[in-house]
Amino acid sequence: MLALLPGLLVKLATRGARRLGLMPQSTYVHEIMQALKRGDLDEAVSVYRLCVSRRQASNITEVARELIEQFVDIRVDKLQSRIDEIENILRARKSLHARLRRWWARVLGLFGRKPLPEARCESELRAELAEHKAMIEGLLDIKTHLRSIG
Amino acid sequence: MKKRVTKTAVAGGVGFLGGLLLEQGLESLTGLDFVDGVFAVGGSVLAAMHVNRDLVEVASENIKAMFGKDPLEITEDDWKQYKAKYPKSAVYLEKALGV
């Protein structure tokens, strides 16, 4: 049991140093990169915060920050293209042809047809749109936060 | 790029073997088992060694996602656009890849 003590102490010391932001910055940068490879943005940001909590960001840490920002930008672009797609669908539904189709489906609904699936779909699309917009705001906040702490 | 990766892998392997020998030697000399601690410290050292490769890999994935093509296939305009937006990463990549 006593033989394990030095190893345990070293392990605890390194763990404590990591939590206090005392490890070399390259250790944290490595962790940030692993998190980005997994697609874990929250982990990458929290490790970055830890990394710059006690010391000024080194050049390599600045590069890591830019890589996190790139990751954020890629996500924002993807969300934005989905938002554009949804907005196009919703815009198309406002056309005269689409309105007439909906009106006709409603008339048919009076005679025992199923309720309009399109109407349900539209509300789902609007919910998705709102969700994506909120996500973009959150991501841009993360980016601003990263710049302010860097 | 390939040469750099090979060099990093070889350096990592040599470092690992060196660490293993040192650990075995210390264990046999002192009779203490400090595998955990040494691995933790060794992990940090290895992390430092691998940072360069990690950064290049992540940047390469990002470029692929941004421009929809392999980093080797991007045009000069694409690169200029990337450099304008992310100057530090671009300079780092240029240095790391010897561009």
pLDDT for res A82: 94
Q: Does A76 touch chain B (CB under 8 A)?
A: no
pLDDT at A8 over 60: yes
Could you give the percent of chain A with pLDDT greater than 70?
92
Token readout for B62 is 């990002």
pLDDT at A149 over 60: yes
Mean pLDDT throughout B43-70?
A: 78
Contact map slice: A 37-66 vs B, CB within 8 A: 37, 59-60, 62-64, 66
| Model ipTM over 0.85 | no
pTM of the model: 0.69
Contacts of A64 in chain B (CB under 8 A): 55
Which of the two residues, A121 and B43, has the higher pLDDT score? A121
CB contact under 8 A, B48 and A30: yes
Nearest by CB to B47, which of A27, A37, A74? A27
Token readout for A98 is 């689409």
- Return the domain boundaries, chain B: 2-97
Lowest mean pLDDT among A12-26, A81-95, B31-45: B31-45
- DSSP for A67-117? HHHHHHHHHHHHHHHHHHHHHHHHHHHTSHHHHHHHHHHHHHHHTTPPPPH
Q: Does B51 touch chain A (CB under 8 A)?
A: yes
Q: Does A139 touch chain B (CB under 8 A)?
A: no
pLDDT at A34 over 80: yes
